[in-house]
Amino acid sequence: MNGQRLHRLISSSDRTQHIWLSLSLVFAVIYGLLSLKQAFAQANLVQDDARQHIFWMLRFIDPGLFPGDLIADYFQSVAPAGYTAVYQLGAWWGVNPLVFCRILPPILAIISTGYFFYFCLEILPIPLTGFIGSLILNQVIWLKDDVASGTPRAFIYPIFIAFLYYLLRNSRVGVGIAVLLMGLFYPQYVFVACGILILRLFVWKSGLLQLTSQRTDLQISGLGLVGGILVLLPYALHTSEFGPTINRAQAMQSLEFFPNGRSMFSMLIRLISG
């Protein structure tokens, strides 16, 4: 009897899959509710990164705010188009951006949980695996500030997980849409996606690295790479009125880039400088 119960527990039937998926989403909702409780614990509570990336969006409610403010103008100029559109839509619905950024994280976490559950099933088709994987994912999400910030990097969790899922499913449309969304919400990750697609073009055969002969792999990688180039092209052609954020000479003199600084890139800078 115990063996039968264990078999039902780990079986890959539709009923078992729906049960474990539901449990995964329940835990995601619980985590989300706990985050909302903390986010709204104080009326004027603002997450650290939101003070940089979201405050200027109050202009969606009052266009006259922050006149001549170079900091507001700068962060508005570097905000990805898709990310900006989501908050603009929220403001159109009458939701203050500083409130909207507290509501979004649980929604993004729930979407990430659903995709990650099915991503795990593509690797090991046992629903219990999807539940354990999604539970660990939620632990990771809420132990870090990425999703909780409501900034562009918050959106990369559901988008990149969806990209990996559709890649395993050999979905041309899914991969293409995911790469497009990366460009609209967090363009830096398009390079990561393109790197994965390039690696997918090669196989190890007879002790040699060879170009794959699988037509599906060629089509998916080709479509994804073309989409990545197209979505990054506007960023490459755009000239910012603020110029480069920081150059190498300035970085070499800034403690921010050295050990214990906010962005420790001192070793990379030294390697580049020779």
Q: Which residues contact 234 (CB under 8 A, 6 or more apart)?
A: none
CB 56 within 8 Å of CB 167? no
CA 127 and chain centroid, separation: 24
3-state secondary structure at position 207: coil
Question: Which whole-number Å values give the CA distances from 191 to 44, 171, 187, in the listed order?
Answer: 37, 19, 8
Over the stretch 104-147, which tens digit does the pLDDT of each residue have? 999 999 999 999 999 999 998 889 999 999 999 999 999 988 89
Over the stretch 13-72, which tens digit does the pLDDT of each residue have? 777 888 999 999 999 999 999 999 988 887 777 777 888 889 889 999 988 888 888 888
Please tell me the pTM assigned to this model. 0.84
Separation CA 19–CA 56 (nearest Å): 43
Q: Which residues contact 66 (CB under 8 A, 6 or more apart)?
A: 56, 58, 59, 72, 73
CB 222 within 8 Å of CB 179? no
Separation CA 70–CA 74 (nearest Å): 6
Spatial CA neighbour of 165 closest among 173, 155, 157, 175: 175
Query: In terms of DSSP H, where are the helices of the chain?
Result: 2-10, 14-39, 50-53, 70-78, 81-92, 97-123, 127-143, 146-149, 152-168, 172-185, 188-199, 215-237, 248-253, 266-273
Local confidence band at 271 (pLDDT 50, 70, 90 cut-offs): very low
